[in-house]
Amino acid sequence: MAGTREDATLMLELAKWGAMIGLPDASRRIYSDDFDIEGADALDADVQTVLVWHETIGTLVKNMLLDRALVYDWLWVAGSWDRVGPAALAAREKAGVPELFANFEVLAKGQS
């Protein structure tokens, strides 16, 4: 599937939503040199913002509502997962819910 104008519109709406929930600030914090990847908690506001936003994108891609190639051209999903994935996996284990943030993880692992 090639990206469509509808995909582009959704992409821009997602970018707006990300700005509204503080994604730029959260991203700066999780990519900072002093961010503790192994000590991060999924309930931390910055980590949670990155997790929820990317999980939403992963869900849209999984359900073929947003073009995967367009997302990979737009975002470094794998890099974000590398930073907050350990927190997501710990939350998943603690909750006993294997689906928790799974769409973000799958999307990230598919990016080369």
- pLDDT > 60? residue 7: yes
> How far apart are the C-alpha atoms of 112 and 60, rounded to whole Å?
19
- pLDDT > 90? residue 46: yes
Write down the domain spans for the chain: 5-109
Region 78-83 average pLDDT: 98
**Model pTM score:** 0.95
- pLDDT > 90? residue 104: yes
Confidence of residue 54 (pLDDT cuts 50, 70, 90): very high
- pLDDT > 60? residue 89: yes
Three-state secondary structure readout of the chain: CCCCHHHHHHHHHHHHHHHHCCHHHHHHHHCCCCCCCCCCCCCCHHHHHHHHHHHHHHHHHHCCCCCHHHHHHHCCHHHHHHHHHHHHHHHHHHHCCCCCCHHHHHHHHCCC
Confidence of residue 1 (pLDDT cuts 50, 70, 90): low
> How far apart are the C-alpha atoms of 98 and 28, rounded to whole Å?
28
